[in-house]
A and B are shown apart, each in its own frame.
Chain A
Amino acid sequence: MTKETGLRPENTVSELHRLSLFAIVKLLKKKELTVKELLECYLQRLEEDERQPRESRINAVVYKNKEEALKQAANAPADSLLGGAPIIIKENLHLLGYPVRCASKILSNYKATYSSTAMLRLLKNGASIFATANMDEFAMGSANENSMHGFVCNPLAKDYIPGGSSGGPAAAVAGYFTSASIGSDTGGSIRQPAACCGVIGLKPTYGRVSRYGLVAFASSFDQIGPIARRVEDIALLLEAMAGHDEADSTSAKLPVPSYSKALETPIKNLHIALPKEYLGDTVHPQIRRAFMQAVDFYEKQGAKISEVSLPNTDYALSIYYILSTAEASSNLARFDGIRYGNPSKKAENLSDLFFRSRSEGFGDEVKRRIFTGSYVLSAGYYDDYYMKALKARRVVYDKYMAILKDADLLMMPTLPYRVFKRGKDHEDPTEMYRSDVFNVAANVVGLPSMSLPCAKDSLGLPISFQFMGRPFDEALMLRAAYLYQQEHGLPVFENAK
């Protein structure tokens, strides 16, 4: 169990990569560390990784820009929250001049012509963005195997998946290529890979972080959020990004608390509810055991623990796959290769151009979801699928909110299964979809959710639990997670040298 102290590791340049974001910020401010030497450390590790044979190459990062990052760090305002600290972002976030390929061939030559609000806020708060991370194509996938850049290995065990779709950002953090990264979560895409890689991931409340400049997968589900190894790092990054944005009509007009300062505030009368549907037979015994130990920890800390029932949890998965594919089918319709991206060279006329560019440009998983989404919106099926799912979404939301009237937090395992081996388990795509069952509910109801590792399974792979909280109360989740980190400690994985 490590406790990072914010002190520079003694003389060992080789240990710089182990610093947390919080520690980095402190050291940078004390001028005991420079952005340049830290960047060089990360980049050296990345280059080392690039030299590995494919099967053992982590492949978390797909684009690097040291010069730009140094400029950003140099421009970081004095006394900024992040003091120039370098981070990595997922490849579906717009930052002027950086490629935004979304791991898709159809965008293989697309570069951002503008910056997303969240990235601008990060820069304003003193972040420097030195690389973009691999992902599942258009954020669709749970294993980071659907990517034009190739698969990502789990740094903890290279023949295992890193999770998805933010497999790159999670693996980059777990592999010590950065202290923290920014991902996006539409149906678990931050929390699931964080859980697979043994790091922490937070999906904010829908509307907490502006989506302007995040390539939309499913607009009513998508949120940008941080991934890191330490709770305080998550708090820092959320604080740096959150807040209302006039460019995003769905962003909330609410003040943003200082998450990082609130971490140590003791929690009184914490009431944690355990939905029994998340502890059923599908949950692996090792996971159940580890999870209950985490529950015990909170109980010993004085929390009230109660069991609750969310009987329509199963529906959340259907609702998610109907609505998210419907939105995706429309969101992804703009990729025709004409204004940006890759037009087919074989096209003979206009409709042929649309047809071929999209057929050649999209991967199978993306196509599958576009088909599904088009189907559920089509005449004759709209009422049975889309409309019904929309109504059911409301019902599920009400149910969660009713429980959160009494309980402060919901707590459940992040994954019911142990981490998958690469290349398995997805001959039948619906099998993979089902593995999202514990993650999609937070997106269906728009509530904040945060996953953190609590144990190792018999293979040494991580087991994680997650919280769901009340709308816009990320602070409480963070405080509860911080308590666990400080008083119990997070598991340490012996992956990096």
Chain B
Amino acid sequence: MEAKNLEFEVVIGLEVHAQLNTETKLFCRCRTSFGEQANMNVCPVCLGYPGALPVLNEKALVKAALLGLALQGKVNEQSLFERKNYFYPDSPKAYQISQLQYPIVSAGVLPIHLRNKNGEDLYSKEIQIERVQLEEDAGKLMHSERSEVKQSYVDLNRCSTPLLEIVSKPDMRSAAEAVEYFKSLRRLLIYLDISDGNMQDGSMRCDVNVSLRARGQKALGTRTETKNMNTFKGIEEAIQYEIVRQRALLLSGEKVIQETMLFNSNTGKTKPMRSKEEAQDYRYFPDPDLFTVFFSKENLQSLKEAMPELPDAKFHRYKQEFLLSSYDAALMSSSKNLAGYFEHASAEALALFKEAKPAKESSAAGESSAAGESSPAGESSPAGKLQGPLLAKRVCNLISTELLSLLTEVRLEQALFPVPAEAIGSMAAMLEQGLISSKMAKEIFKALSETDKTVEEIVLERGLKLICDEAALEAIVDKVLADHAKVAADFKSGKAKAMGYLIGQAMKASKGQAEPKLLSKIIQDKLKS
């Protein structure tokens, strides 16, 4: 099988559906909120009552255009809503208002970055976007779990909430690329405040088109479409399964049938949906209730100007401005909320550090880098320029070692951080100034997350402060050397290990508060003199 693997190229395209986070529905003023009692957020329009007419929610259109801009796509000045006609109880008008010939966005591109498990860059590529269209969602059907109950229920709360359908070109060549594409798109949607990206509630889902073709062959193979995937794992498994299934078919000389599949997450297998007897003819035509939609160049320009910094730009800036590694930069830019937190904390750290600078100059450098020690910090000096990156790195470390373990994805999405960004910034500055140790930082962080106290209060209360005063440390060292004269003598006679013991004793004597570098420097100086 492995060898034969090489004979085929995998071709994958995704159709992603993302629910927009507008307050009201696409064609009426009903609220879009979730989890309410069935059929409460409805009106004659979204119930499809006779005589009711749709009126476009302009905010949804703006969000769609914003995505188009972020995808460097073509936002069309004119777009058109069409009716997709079909009978189903979740669609009360018996048609869905969607876009076909003239979508709001045609063409675009989304760069994706494949990394290994350690976050090291493997490769990047661009996925072409064919179109982004705006359409209304259907309602929900609920079937009784008891088979003897021959009734189903329809909840139309979701009916006519705005959806974006984002159709990629068949540009992906592996399950990993497809998952990365989906993740990147999701991140972008959340960054732009277009969608909450919530996959469990189905506000983001995708249909996966998979086909195989002989390596080197230009024409696409016959594809299958696996519907309604809403987990990363599911997408990955469904694609893997389809690859294996289609390859087996092709190798045994059979043909892949173009059909719609459903993925069963329990078995990890895809299965054809019961095929309808005839192919559906949706009889699309322009919705006569809605005129052509105009999105002016002026509107587009003002959107462009208001465009927030996008994840890819942030990633590159973090690497350049803060000298973060790819891994750190990717992690910090992975969510809009986290990026905001990181940037806020870093700015706070730098501000505090600069404020405290005069005090710092008089004290020894401690754990901090050599650069910070001797030269005055300032934007103008080359060493000062490094202060930002150093502090940012400390913030980044605090976030990845302390914060992230306490943060669930849901809390991150809602920006419910257990510790305020200012506190992380303040801790980073103190670490950089050599005022606290990493161990102390851990303790402060824990206390912060459990109480409402500030960093300063915790530090004061618990005496969590390094002793940087040379005279004070010398006094401790003198006492330790006197108490352990024999060990000191051992060192002098060549027993290098003895040094470690002495440092340990001195640290103990300082109750763990001695600034470690300064402490060992003093011991070394005294022993060597």
- Residues of A near any B CB (own CB < 8 A): 92-94, 100, 102, 107, 110, 113-114, 116, 211-216, 218-220, 246-250, 326-327, 329-330, 333-336, 338-340, 350-351, 354, 374, 377-379, 382, 386, 390
Given A333-B94, A334-B50, A338-B89, check contact A249 B290 (CB 8 Å). Answer: yes
| Contact A215–B288 (Cβ < 8 Å) | no
Contact B291 A250 (CB under 8 A): yes
Additional pairs, 13, CB under 8 Å, beyond known A92-B51, A114-B52: A94-B50, A110-B50, A114-B44, A212-B53, A213-B51, A219-B288, A246-B55, A250-B288, A336-B87, A336-B94, A338-B89, A351-B87, A382-B283
A361 to chain B, nearest CB (A): 13
Q: Give B283-301 as 1s and 0s: 1 = Cβ < 8 Å from A's Cβ atoms.
A: 1111011110000000000
**29 A-B residue contacts at CB 8 Å?**
A94-B51, A113-B44, A114-B44, A211-B51, A211-B53, A212-B51, A213-B51, A213-B52, A216-B51, A219-B289, A246-B55, A249-B54, A249-B290, A250-B290, A329-B283, A330-B85, A330-B283, A333-B85, A333-B87, A333-B95, A334-B50, A334-B92, A339-B49, A339-B92, A354-B87, A379-B281, A379-B283, A382-B283, A386-B285
Query: Within B358-388, which residues are at the interface with A (CB < 8 Å)?
Result: none
Cβ-based interface call for B93 (8 A): yes
A114-B49 in contact given A220-B288, A330-B85, A333-B93 (Cβ < 8 Å): yes
B110 at the A interface (CB under 8 A): no
The answer to whether B47 touches A374, judged by C-beta atoms less than 8 angstroms apart, is no
Which residues of A sit under 8 angstroms from B94, Cβ to Cβ? 330, 333-334, 336
Contact A247 B53 (CB under 8 A): yes
Q: How far is the CA of A94 from the CA of B49 in the complex (A)?
A: 11
Q: State how many angstroms separate the Cβ of B73 from the closest Cβ of chain A.
A: 26
Q: Which residues of B contact A92 (CB under 8 A)?
A: 51
Which positions 75-108 of chain B face chain A at CB distance < 8 Å? 83, 85, 87, 89, 92-95
- By Cβ-Cβ distance, the 4 closest A-B pairs, closest first, are A333-B94, A377-B283, A220-B288, A219-B288
> For chain B, what secondary structure do more than half of its interface residues adopt (helix, strand, loop), or is it mixed?
loop
Q: Judging by beta carbons under 8 Å apart, are B288 and A327 in contact?
A: yes
Number of A-B contacts (CB under 8 A): 96
B459 at the binding interface (Cβ < 8 Å): no
In whole Å, how far is A208's beta carbon from the nearest beta carbon of chain B? 15
Does B92 contact A249, Cβ atoms closer than 8 Å? Answer: no
Which of A213, A216, A377 is in CB contact (< 8 Å) with B285?
A377
A249 touches B53 (CB 8 A): yes
- Binary A-proximity of B37-67 (CB < 8 A = 1, otherwise 0): 0000000100111111111100000000000
Interchain CB contact under 8 A, A340 and B49: yes
Which residue among B50, B85, B95 has the maximum number of chain A CB atoms within 10 Å of its CB? Answer: B50
Q: Given A215-B51, A338-B89, A340-B49, answer yes or no on A326-B289 (Cβ-Cβ < 8 Å).
A: no
Asked if B290 and A330 make an inter-chain contact with CB atoms under 8 angstroms apart, the answer reads: no
Q: Are B55 and A216 in contact (CB under 8 A)?
A: no
Q: How far is the CB of B212 from chain A (nearest CB, A)?
A: 28
Contact A249 B51 (CB under 8 A): no
With A327-B288, A350-B89 as given contacts, are A334 and B51 in contact (CB-CB < 8 Å)? no
Known contacts A247-B55, A334-B94, A339-B92: does B283 contact A113 (CB below 8 Å)?
no
Known: A114-B49, A215-B50, A339-B47. A374 touches B55 (CB 8 A): no
Interchain CA distance A248-B288 in the complex, whole Å: 11
Residues on A with beta carbons closer than 8 Å to the beta carbon of B290: 249-250
The smallest C-beta distance from A241 to any residue of chain B, in angstroms, reads: 15
A379 cross-chain contacts in B, Cβ below 8 A: 281, 283
- Cβ distance B28 to chain A, nearest Cβ, rounded Å: 9
The answer to whether A249 and B283 have CB atoms under 8 Å apart is no
Q: Is the CB of A249 within 8 A of B50?
A: no
Give the shortest distance, in Å, between A107 (CB) and chain B (any CB). 8
Q: Are B281 and A100 in contact (CB under 8 A)?
A: no
Known: A333-B85, A336-B87, A379-B281. A249 touches B44 (CB 8 A): no
Nearest Cβ on chain B to A217's Cβ, whole angstroms:
11
Contact check, A214 vs B51: say whether CB atoms are below 8 A apart. yes
Nearest chain A CB to B56's CB is how many angstroms away? Answer: 7
Chain A nearest CB, measured from B96 CB (Å): 11
Chain A residues, CB < 8 A from B55? 246-249
Given contacts A250-B291, A354-B87, A379-B281, contact A334 B53 (CB under 8 A): no
Q: Which of B87, B93, B284, B286 lies at the interface centre, i.e. has the most chain A CB atoms within 10 A of its CB?
A: B87
User: What residues of chain A lie closer than 8 Å to B87, measured between beta carbons?
Assistant: 333, 336, 351, 354
A116 and B291 CA atoms in complex are apart in Å by: 21
Q: When the two chains form their complex, are residues A250 and B289 in contact, meaning their CB atoms are under 8 A apart?
A: yes
What is the CB-to-nearest-CB distance from B238 to chain A, in angstroms, rounded to a whole number?
28
Contacts of B48 in A (CB 8 A): 334, 339
Q: What are the residues of chain B within 8 A of A102 when measuring CB–CB?
A: 50
Least CB distance, A318 to chain B, in whole angstroms: 17
**B49 close to A330 (CB less than 8 A):** no
Q: Is the CB of A382 within 8 A of B93?
A: no
Instruction: Establish whether residues A116 and B89, one from each chain, have CB atoms under 8 Å apart when the complex forms.
Output: no
| Contact present for B49 and A249 (CB under 8 Å) | no
CB of A458 to closest CB in B, whole Å: 42
The answer to whether A378 and B51 touch across the interface, beta carbons within 8 angstroms, is: no
Q: Are B47 and A330 in contact (CB under 8 A)?
A: no
Chain B residues with Cβ under 8 A from A248's Cβ?
53, 55
Once bound together, how far apart are the Cα atoms of A334 and B89, in whole Å?
Answer: 10
**Beta-carbon nearest neighbor of A323 in chain B:** B288
| Bound: A252/B290 CA distance, A | 13
CB distance from A369 to the nearest CB of B (A): 15
CA distance A116 to B47 in the complex (A): 16
Which chain A residue lies CB-closest to B56? Answer: A249
**Whole-angstrom CA separation of A335 from B527 in the bound complex:** 97
Question: In the complex, what distance in Å separates the CA atom of A326 from the CA atom of B288?
Answer: 11
Beta-carbon contacts under 8 Å, B260-291 to A: 281, 283-286, 288-291
Interchain nearest-CB distance for A252 vs B (Å): 11
A329 to B290, CA, bound (A): 17
Q: How far is the CA of A468 from the CA of B83 in the complex (A)?
A: 31
Q: What chain A residues lie within 8 Å of B56 (beta carbons)?
A: 249
* A218 to B285 CA separation, bound complex (whole angstroms): 13
Contacts of A329 in B (CB 8 A): 85, 283
Residue on B nearest A374 in the bound complex, by CB: B283
A218 / chain B contacts, CB cutoff of 8 Å = 288
Q: Are A378 and B283 neighbours in the complex by a CB distance under 8 Å?
A: yes
Which interface residue of B44, B52, B53, B281 has the most chain A CB atoms within 10 A?
B53
When A219-B288, A219-B289, A220-B288 are in contact, do A330 and B83 touch as well, CB less than 8 Å? yes
Give the distance in Å from the alpha carbon of A330 to the alpha carbon of B87 in the complex: 10
Bound complex: CA of A247 vs CA of B284, how far in Å? 24
What CA separation (Å) do A155 and B500 show in the bound complex?
Answer: 117
Q: How distant is B123 from chain A, measured CB to nearest CB, in Å?
A: 42
Please, which residues of chain A bring their CB within 8 A of the CB of B53? 211-212, 247-250
Given contacts A330-B85, A379-B281, contact A100 B288 (CB under 8 A): no
Closest residue on chain A to residue B286 by CB atoms? A390
With A249-B291, A378-B283, A386-B285 already in contact, the answer to whether A216 and B50 are too (CB < 8 A) is yes
With A and B bound together, what is the CA distance between A14 and B499 in angstroms?
Answer: 125
Given A330-B85, A333-B93, A334-B94, does the pair A100, B285 have CB atoms closer than 8 Å? no
* A379, B100: Cα distance in complex, Å: 14
Please give, as numbers and ranges, the residues of chain A lying within 8 Å of B92 by CB-CB distance: 334, 339
Collect the chain A residues with CB atoms within 8 Å of residue B50's CB.
94, 100, 102, 107, 110, 215-216, 334-335, 340
Q: Complex Cα distance A103/B89, Å?
A: 25
Partner of B51, one of A116, A220, A246: A116
Min C-beta distance of A441 to chain B, whole Å? 18
Task: Tell me the nearest residue of chain B to A116, going by C-beta.
Answer: B51
Give the nearest-CB partner of A340 in chain B.
B49
Residues of B within 8 A of A334 (CB): 48, 50, 92-94
Q: When chains A and B are docked, how far (Å) is the Cα of A451 from the Cα of B291?
A: 29
Distance (whole angstroms) from the CB of B139 to the closest CB of chain A: 11
Give min CB distance, A328 to chain B, whole Å: 11
Distance A378 CA – B280 CA, assembled complex (angstroms): 10
Chain B, residue nearest A377 (CB)? B283
